[in-house]
Amino acid sequence: MSFDMSSPRLVLAGTAYGECRGGGRTGMENVLSVVMCRWRDGWENTPLAVCLAPHQFSCWGDCNRSAILSASMRDQASWELALSIADAALAGTLPDRTGDADSYYALSMAKPAYWARPPARHVVSDNWHSFWRVNRTPATDDATDQLNQAELAAHTLEPA
- Which of the four pLDDT bands, split at 50, 70 and 90, describes residue 71? confident
112 pLDDT exceeds 70? Answer: yes
Measure the CA–CA gap between 137 and 126, rounded to whole angstroms: 21
Q: How far is CA 33 from the centre of its chain?
A: 5
Ranges assigned E (strand) in the chain:
103-106, 121-125, 129-133
- The values of phi and psi at residue 148, to 5°, are -60, -45
Span 97-109, pLDDT tens digits: 999 999 999 999 9
Residue 157 in this model has a pLDDT that exceeds 50: no
Q: pLDDT confidence of 158, banded at 50, 70, 90?
A: very low
What's the rounded mean pLDDT across residues 105-127? 94
Whole-prediction pTM? 0.81
Contact 30, 23 (CB under 8 A): yes
Domain residue limits, the chain: 8-99
Q: Which residues lie below 8 Å from residue 109, measured CB to CB, with a gap of 6+? A: none
Give the pLDDT confidence of 25-34 residue by residue, as tens digits.
999 999 999 9
Band (70; pLDDT cuts 50, 70, 90) = confident
Task: Say yes or no to pLDDT of 11 above 70.
Answer: yes
Q: What is the pLDDT of residue 1?
A: 53
φ, ψ of residue 99 to 5 degrees: the values are: 65, 40
107: number of Cβ within 10 Å: 12
pLDDT for the residue 139: 45
CA-wise closest residue to 78 among 99, 64, 90, 92? 64
Compute the distance between CA of residue 150 and CA of residue 148 in angstroms, rounded to an integer: 5
Query: Prior bond to 95 cis, omega within 30?
Result: no
The rounded distance, in Å, linking the Cα atoms of 103 and 75 is 27
Residue 150 has pLDDT above 70, yes or no: no
- The pLDDT value recorded for residue 38 is 96
